[in-house]
A and B are shown apart, each in its own frame.
Chain A
Amino acid sequence: MLTEPLFSIPASEGRETVTIIFDDQAVTAPAGISVAAALLVAGASDFRTSIVGHEPRAPYCMMGVCFECLVEIDGVPARQSCLVPVKDGMIVRRQQGAVSLPDSEIGDGR
């Protein structure tokens, strides 16, 4: 669901654009920016729901340390959208609930 965006990119920045699909809605963004930036500028207010309280969450750090920006990109779950540049035709979905990383291992000795 897209609402009033928190950020906008002035027209003077004018650049080549790409289109990505976010939860079945087309989003146009300047080429080269991160998926998280593109979604924020398009008005995505929550990127995922928290795993315990199911509260909405959105990017906090934009530099790869907080992991609040996790979304599914082209079928791969739990990607850090602030570190991935937009590509034309990319399919992005909100990460629902538990950060399912079935195929992954996160270093914690678990």
Chain B
Amino acid sequence: MNVETTDLAIIGAGPAGLAAACEARTLGLSVTVLDEQSAVGGQIYRNVVSAPRARSAILGPDYSAGAELVSAFASSGALHLDSAVVWNVATDGTIDYIREGRTRKLSGKYVLLASGAMERPFPIEGWTLPGVMGAGAAQILLKSAGALPREPVVLAGCGPLLYLLGWQYLRAGARIAALVDTTATSDYVRASRHLMGALRSWKELRKGLGLIAALRRSNIALYSGCSDLRAEGTCKVEALAFRQDGRSVRIPTSLLLVHQGVVPNTQLSWSVKAEHRWNKAQLCWEPVTDIWGRLGETALYVAGDSRSIVGAQASAVQGRLAALSIGNRLGVLPDITIRAAPYLESLKRYTAIRPFLDALYRPKDENRVPVSDKVVVCRCEEVTAGQIRRFVGLGCQGPNQTKAFGRCGMGPCQGRFCGLTVTETIARERQLEPADVGYYRIRPPIKPVLLGDFVE
């Protein structure tokens, strides 16, 4: 097979990947960016170039701001491979990807993993019913297709993206039946300790408060401090039931959008057997890197939300820092300190708000480790929380063994949607820390490959 080569190959054309490409090009490096989407922008700036003006207006200024980075990338001289699905990466910088129905190879002297975040799964009763989706998924429908809910929608959970979608729906004239917020008074108390630090990111803080104020001013029904969330229905969702202030509430709806933050998409870094640690504040795994994002002694770097949840602006800065370090290693930037200094400063500023956000929107224990045994944890193989607890009783020590006990994590999503829940459920059962229980062993291909893809 013919192997193309490049100085820097980047997986992911979101803020981290695009900014890294621009920075690397200013150093004269050859750059190829691969993304499985048909257009650049990643999650936050999805479709930003081709979105009609009315849609951009609904999505707001933070979305439109992406056009600047996208156009800088377009004129940077980096090569963009769209609709390129990466299914394997090796620590020496070799990449296997599928494009136009054929698998191909690319070899980078260095490779930047910038595959971003995914919404944290929301394992509650009924979450597998059609009509229950992630709030981020609904936002993708808005960004990529201009699609809006037809009937009044229920938003449930917590976190900036949930409120942002609510705000965008209000602007679009979509009807919101209720916003069911799981944030409780105790969360505000916990977060208040981090408020001083957060003030260093005052612009972000003000924006967030503005969104919430707009939702409060609107006449949608707001419920806060909600618990015991359950999606009801038989063939599709019919209502959201929950408890608030000791009373039971049931809100009929055909569309329930749930969200409780985003977590790094670590599939690629796990697949190269990189070391990962459990982030106690963000309740998720993250790859262990040096300050530039390099994974051990490999040709691989990680930047952006796939390294740790930092948000779009900090993701872009991390991408630039990784590019500088790679330039330094390739000998085109002998002194990295001067160029890196302002980026390291802005990274501090952009991430100052994180401890506050992590504390305030810490997803509730009951929405991460299901209380009811009936809740489906592994959606692909339909393994419940009760079954996982039973496996532990039978001697199952960690996520890898749940595969043998009941095929948990062996479906097509390869544990992306059950892994965190399985780790935390087992840890709780065994009274250990998640770090001691570990995660699934992820092996390539990390995306389905058909035999036909190998035919020349």
Contact = CB atoms under 8 A, between A and B. Distances in A.
B141 A62 contact: yes
Contacts of B359: none
B254 A70 contact: no
Chain A at the B interface: mostly helix, strand, loop or mixed? loop
A64 B208 CA distance: 28
A108 B410 contact: yes
A21 to B, nearest CB: 19
B413 A51 contact: no
B417 interface: yes
B254 A65 contact: no
B381 A51 contact: yes
A63 B137 contact: yes
Nearest to A109: B443
A100 to B, nearest CB: 11
A55 B36 CA distance: 29
A51 B52 contact: no
A100 B98 CA distance: 20
Interface string A73-109: 0001010101101000000000000010101111111
B385 to A, nearest CB: 15
Contact of B417 (A59, A65, A80): A65
Contacts of A8: 147-148, 150
Interface residues of B, number: 60
Listed residue (B52, B149, B150, B452) with the most chain A CB atoms within 10 angstroms of its CB: B150
Given A34-B144, A66-B416, A107 B443 contact: yes
B262 to A, nearest CB: 11
B432 to A, nearest CB: 25
User: Among the interface residues B138, B141, B414, B450, which one has the most CB atoms of the partner chain A within 10 A?
Assistant: B141
A76 B98 CA distance: 15
Contacts of B146: 9-10, 13, 30
The 10 residue pairs across chains A and B that have the minimum distance between CB atoms: A58-B130, A62-B137, A67-B412, A33-B145, A7-B147, A62-B140, A52-B382, A13-B146, A103-B451, A107-B443
Given A9-B146, A60-B134, A66-B417, A40 B141 contact: yes
A50 B36 contact: no
A61 B136 contact: yes
Nearest to B119: A61
B379 interface: yes
A74 to B, nearest CB: 11
Contact of B446 (A40, A57, A107): A107
Contacts of B410: 108, 110
Nearest to A41: B147
Interface residues of chain B: helix, strand, loop or mixed (majority): loop
B271 A107 contact: yes
A63 B413 CA distance: 12
Contacts of B54: 12-13
Contacts of B136: 61-63
5 contacts: A37-B145, A61-B133, A78-B412, A104-B449, A106-B448
Given A13-B52, A41-B147, A56-B130, A103 B137 contact: no
Interface string B429-455: 000000000000111111011111000
Contact of A61 (B50, B87, B137, B255): B137
Interface of A: 4-10, 12-13, 30, 32-34, 37, 40-41, 45-46, 50-53, 55-68, 70, 76, 78, 80, 82-83, 85, 99, 101, 103-110
A7 B140 CA distance: 12
Contact of B450 (A5, A61, A65, A103): A103
B382 A51 contact: yes
Contacts of B140: 62-63, 82
Residue among A8, A56, A65, A82 having the largest count of chain B Cβ atoms under 10 Å: A65
Contact of A104 (B134, B446, B450): B450
Nearest to A5: B150
B43 interface: yes
A45 B449 contact: no
Contact of A45 (B130, B145, B379): B130
B291 interface: no
Contacts of B446: 107
Contact of A83 (B36, B133, B137): B36
Contacts of A56: 130, 235-236
Question: Which of B119, B130, B134, B417: most chain A CB closer than 10 A?
Answer: B130
Interface in B122-154: 128, 130-134, 136-138, 140-141, 144-151
B254 A4 contact: yes
B125 to A, nearest CB: 13
A67 to B, nearest CB: 4
B413 to A, nearest CB: 4
